[in-house]
Structure 1
Amino acid sequence: MYELHPTPGIMHHYLWRHIIAIASLVCLSLFLFEKIQDIEYNSSWEEKRMVWQLHLEQMKSERNHLRTFKKMQKNSSLLQHAYYEFLAGTIPQEKKLLTVGIYSVHSPHGNHLLDTLQSLFQVSSEDELKYITVLVYLSDPDLERLSQTVTNISSLFKQHIEDKKLLVIHGLLKGSPLPGYLNNISHSSSCEVLRFRQKVDYALLMNFASKLSEYFLMIGDNVHCSPKFVSAIYWALSAWKEIPWVILEFSNLSFSGKVIHTSDLSRLITFFFLFPKDTPDLLLSNFGFLLGQTVPIRFIPKLFYSWDNYSTSEDTCNQEEEGKEEEEDFGKPNNPPAKIYTNMMMRSSHLPAHAYFLNESYFLTEYPIPGNKLTLIFDQPLKVIRVQVLTGFGRQGLYRLEQAQVELGSEPIQEEGCTSYILLGPLVKGILDQKVFYKEDSVGAVRCVQLLVTAAQKSNACIRMIKIWIKTEKG
């Protein structure tokens, strides 16, 4: 046990949560079998059985609502009447890992679509491009302007189109485009009509993308991409593959940078049209909550940035434009006073305490096995806002911890840790760097941060540094 005293160095508010609560009763049962998340690691089997029984009872009581939702999803006029025009490119023969969906519409503020595409392809290697399909959905009522945009894309990105890495489409709804319960949108305000039309375009894009890949990434047409963003997302998806999640966030933007399973796209489309007057970003932020992801999962550093203060993919009626991102300055890590417990094998010259010092020292352990852990136990409850765990040496990640996860705990017991933990996230290539969100109406106090090994490793592991940021009274 080591006691350290180093020098101290949001989730959207659910405005209409009462509406979401009603929708969740309808949808939650439908997704229950595939979305069950047990993040309380110390729950007994009897407790789990009781929880399961409660879910079964809820499913029985909501059977009529469930049938209604399934029927609505099956008979969605959007899925029945969607018609697409291929403006450039063809569908790849093989299913990819990730579809990068870009929705673009003309804006009086200017258009950065070509800049966005240029950024995307410039920062991606040929190997990375093998894993993605770039799908551009053009929405422009001016046919002459639409034709010019297609000509520009075809000229600048001819090779990517020929290689079936870039596909440009336009969509519309033939026949009766709107279900009966949405017809009253025509009597709404001009802003609500614009938002609904935008939502239809998003839905057409996602509907087309649902069969192209395993995962879907939405970015706006005014976004520039960080180098190797494809690799960063690939490794994050690999690390989270066995852990239930709904949305992974790789930016602070309201809609761009969000990754979801393509198997969830039809459900998201249906959810969009349950609330025809609400904006897509508001609905997307609540979609995760609806399926059991109670807080956002946001990675640091962010991978997507806005070109300017405007969003060409959102109309001026929206209260929150995608381009107006929230800049976060966490400052230097605090690493508050904490005790350290570990059951890992230790070397006398590289102790567990060294991983918590904000210097070049580190903790070296031999052949970690499942159940090995290193736990920080804070002297008092803290509002932790960011956690970073670095393992391994150099760019190659020599001796990095291959499979482990970070958990946040409450209710400390003696000197070994806390009684209950919730998952923050797994290490991605030996690293975790995530913002910490808290459930609405919860105290949000953290007493423990725990690094837990989840698989045996046939080499030593270096835990190089653990950094903790906390929200102070002034922050």
Structure 2
Amino acid sequence: MKMKRIPAAVGLLLTVSILLQLILYYQSSRSYVTRGQQPVTNATISEVQTNVIKQGASYSDDLLIRMSDSESLVYSVPNLGKRFLTIGIPTIRRQNNTYIFETLTSIFNKTAEEDLRDIVFVVFLADFNTEWKTSMAKYLYERFHIYIERGVLCIINAPSSFYPKLDNLKSTYGDSQDKVKWRSKQNVDYAYLMRFSKNLSEFYMQLEDDVVASEGYYNAIKKYIAEQKDDWICLEFSELGFIGKLYHSRDLENLSRLILLFYQEQPVDYIFVYFNVLMAQASRRIHKPTLFQHIGIESSLPGKIQPLKDRFVGFRKKKYMGDNPPAHLFTTMRTNPDFPVEAPYLKSPGYFWSHDNLKENDTVTIVFDNPQSIYRAVVETGAEEYPTDMIYNGELNACISLDFMDSTSAKCSNYVTLGRFVDGKIDANNISSKMGEFKTKCIVIRVTKSQPFWAIIEEIAIFTR
């Protein structure tokens, strides 16, 4: 389930006090986790477990989960102590594609060796088809047995008794019964995975089985956690759906209860936002650049194609890191607040993405607070994720006069052309020889020919003497 526009939550917020009580005191009669037998001890990593599994002898009895002989399929993790982070990944069958192998390969390849001690990955085989689960567990073990044997990767399965009836469900949002059943089961999958994982680590992050990770994702997560100056409930490392949502593990029990309470009424994309608000986090905290890109085209809902991409994954550290003296930036192009015109000029990650197709004489104008002696200027357009979204026809001008400026626009004059775009880039050197004794008050990027698509300006670097 990927992110849609969040509906008005006014009615729900009016019942905050009631729902908080439900979250805190929701009775165990709605809990589908069964307790009972003693945990298996000294289980071998490569053995398919068909009894009750407990994730480490020191953990809470709440992790005891009864598995039937026909359905149980768990490659367990030895007790290596409580980790820093659990990454939960549910996976089910798709009709024509399987992405989980690419997802795990990407994550493991981009996790430093010393960081593997701090993370446990829990892959939940969430399909009802026993034959598929058996073969998938076998394939996962064959390809990733090193991580299983090291206690990094755990593969789990839920008993069918955990699930409520998924027939004749309440229809909301005009969804078909097939879609309501799919998203309702998905909600229960998430709740199960959270309850299984709640005592494994300090933090828990939800992923999906059709994403790839960015380089350095783990250090970026730790750094963002450390940067928070106040209490928080959820940090987000993807803008899409329920991908990359990070919680304190202590909150997983309450979150899973809310998911189970509304499993047939609401998609999880909405429930987690409601939960954040109920827990007093009023606004979303999305780390940019985001760290996980969605790669799945075929949804796990049969017949659904969903080629969504996270717009913020392409943000990277600036390459040129110019001097970029204080300035005001303006553009004649329609903008998106997520990709402001100032972004390519700042030294922090981010770029400008026009909200419309480019038209002849569209401009980006940089007005320096004080005139500058410039010797080099670089403008780079396009991005690794969107290499064709560049300025194909344009020029870079240096102006010595500012005719007009207000809060939304500026007009500069008396200009010298510094260069023209070639393959989406201008790198103008020896500017001093062109400007003579005059200092530059404005730099203007001007589109010289309309193009039938938008453009990204990834970096503007100005070098001064």
TM-score by length of 1: 0.55
* Alpha-carbon distance in structure 2 between the residues aligned to 1:139 and 1:331: 33
Structure 1 residue 83 corresponds to structure 2 residue 66: yes
Aligned to 2:13: 21
More helix by share: 1
- Shift, 1:316, TM fit: 5.5
Structure 1 residue 272 corresponds to structure 2 residue 265: no
> Are the structure 2 counterparts of residues 130 and 390 from structure 1 closer, same or farther at C-alpha, using a change threshold of 3 Å?
farther
Aligned to 1:454: none
Match of 1:247 among 234, 246, 270: 234
Structure 1 residue 138 corresponds to structure 2 residue 143: no
Do the aligned partners of 1:195 and 1:277 also contact (CA within 8 Å) in 2?
no
Give the alignment of 1:182-193 within 5 angstroms. 185=169, 189-193=177-181
Give the alignment of 1:343-382 within 5 angstroms. 359-360=322-323
Alpha-carbon RMSD across the aligned residues, in angstroms, is 3.9
- Shift, 1:232, TM fit: 1.0
Aligned partner of residue 81 in structure 2, secondary structure: coil
Do the aligned partners of 2:23 and 2:258 also contact (CA within 8 Å) in 1?
no
- Shift, 1:134, TM fit: 0.4
Match of 1:303 among 283, 291, 298: 291
* Alpha-carbon distance in structure 2 between the residues aligned to 1:290 and 1:210: 20
User: Counterpart of 2:203 in structure 1: which amino acid?
Assistant: Y
* Alpha-carbon distance in structure 1 between the residues aligned to 2:226 and 2:110: 21
> Are the structure 2 counterparts of residues 384 and 238 from structure 1 closer, same or farther at C-alpha, using a change threshold of 3 Å?
same
Aligned to 1:324: 308
Match of 1:72 among 26, 37, 49: 26
Do the aligned partners of 1:89 and 1:162 also contact (CA within 8 Å) in 2?
no
Give the alignment of 1:174-185 within 5 angstroms. 174=161, 178=164, 185=169
> Are the structure 2 counterparts of residues 266 and 22 from structure 1 closer, same or farther at C-alpha, using a change threshold of 3 Å?
farther
Q: Which string of whole-angstrom CA distances, capped at 9 and with x for unpartnered residues, describes residues 303-334 of structure 1?
A: 1011233334x56579xx5x5135359999xx
* Alpha-carbon distance in structure 2 between the residues aligned to 1:277 and 1:316: 22
> Are the structure 2 counterparts of residues 79 and 146 from structure 1 closer, same or farther at C-alpha, using a change threshold of 3 Å?
closer
Structure 1 residue 198 corresponds to structure 2 residue 186: yes
Do the aligned partners of 1:229 and 1:303 also contact (CA within 8 Å) in 2?
yes
Return 5+ residue gaps in structure 1 as ranges. 1-10, 31-65, 333-357, 364-375, 392-444, 446-474
Q: Which string of whole-angstrom CA distances, capped at 9 and with x for unpartnered residues, describes residues 143-187 of structure 1?
A: 222211111111111111010000000012538x549xx997389
> Are the structure 2 counterparts of residues 174 and 331 from structure 1 closer, same or farther at C-alpha, using a change threshold of 3 Å?
closer
Aligned to 1:96: 83
Aligned to 2:139: 152
Do the aligned partners of 2:237 and 2:291 also contact (CA within 8 Å) in 1?
yes
* Paired residue total: 301
* Alpha-carbon distance in structure 2 between the residues aligned to 1:127 and 1:377: 44
> Are the structure 2 counterparts of residues 158 and 267 from structure 1 closer, same or farther at C-alpha, using a change threshold of 3 Å?
same
* Alpha-carbon distance in structure 1 between the residues aligned to 2:167 and 2:16: 24
> Are the structure 2 counterparts of residues 195 and 317 from structure 1 closer, same or farther at C-alpha, using a change threshold of 3 Å?
farther
User: Counterpart of 1:193 in structure 2: which amino acid?
Assistant: K
Identity of aligned residues (%): 23
User: Counterpart of 1:360 in structure 2: which amino acid?
Assistant: D
- Shift, 1:198, TM fit: 1.6
Do the aligned partners of 1:96 and 1:214 also contact (CA within 8 Å) in 2?
yes
Query: Highest relative contact order (Cα 8 Å, sep 6+), 1 or 2?
Result: 1
- Shift, 1:141, TM fit: 2.5
Structure 1 residue 290 corresponds to structure 2 residue 278: yes
User: Counterpart of 1:156 in structure 2: which amino acid?
Assistant: R
Aligned partner of residue 203 in structure 2, secondary structure: strand
Return 5+ residue gaps in structure 2 as ranges. 36-64, 330-334, 349-406, 408-455, 457-465
* Alpha-carbon distance in structure 2 between the residues aligned to 1:215 and 1:361: 38
Match of 2:99 among 112, 129, 132: 112
Aligned partner of residue 103 in structure 2, secondary structure: helix
Aligned partner of residue 97 in structure 1, secondary structure: strand
User: Counterpart of 1:134 in structure 2: which amino acid?
Assistant: F
Give the alignment of 1:400-419 within 5 angstroms. none
User: Counterpart of 1:159 in structure 2: which amino acid?
Assistant: I
Highest CA radius of gyration, 1 or 2? 2
User: Counterpart of 1:207 in structure 2: which amino acid?
Assistant: R
Give the alignment of 1:42-61 within 5 angstroms. none
